Amino acid sequence: MKLFLHVCCAPDATVPFEVLKNEKSWNEVVGYFYGSNIHPADEFRRRADALKFLSEHSGVNILFRPYQPDGWFAAASHLADEPEQGNRCKLCFAIQLRAAAKEAVANGASHLCTTLTISPHKDALLISRLGSEIAGQAGLTWEGRIWRKNNGFLRSVQISKELGLYRQGYCGCAYSQACHSYTIHKKASDSIQKSPYCHTEVQ
């Protein structure tokens, strides 16, 4: 069986790569990096470079989708005012998983999985529901893993530090970047105000 693993970034892929490549169930494990949600282009390149390093280190091949942010913005910009972890994030997960499913079918994979569930900041149950639905529509079997279980997130941080992997400060899109920058600024100024994008009170 061939497993197609949607990869959101190098740190989040560390534990899935470590686990999956040692499981006898899979004849092949292939990573897939969507990346067009990431802003700006320099950030995309930093994350892609980190994934290339991890791929070489782990021996897990990764397919890189061409960077086409205009398409992502066209699909998601109508949700610009949504808070972080809201409907915009749900749409972004779906966009990435659909792209991964399409590529998985094209590459003869039987199963689809994602690294997204390693993050403690993401709704793992929502991601699993979306993944199962999208995989099923594509004729794939969803390999549901909650990677943050059993201290998976802490393990990913440890491996990332050991390998010197780039660890980003925000999820990826322009809106999450704005929220992160605004939060840092407001904390530094010791004030309370709501970000125009993240809609989160910063204290």
pLDDT-based confidence at residue 178 (cuts at 50, 70, 90): confident
Number of domains in the chain: 1
> For residue 201, how far is the Cα from the chain centroid?
25
Q: CB of 89 within 8 A of CB of 79? A: no
Give the ranges where 38-86 is alpha helix by DSSP (H). 41-58, 69-76
* Assigned domain for 197 exists: no
92/94 Cα distance (integer angstroms): 5
Which pLDDT tens digit goes with each residue over 48-90? 999 999 999 999 999 999 999 999 999 999 999 999 889 999 9
pTM: 0.89
Residue 139 structural domain: 2-172
Q: Look up the CATH number of the domain holding residue 112.
A: 3.40.50.620
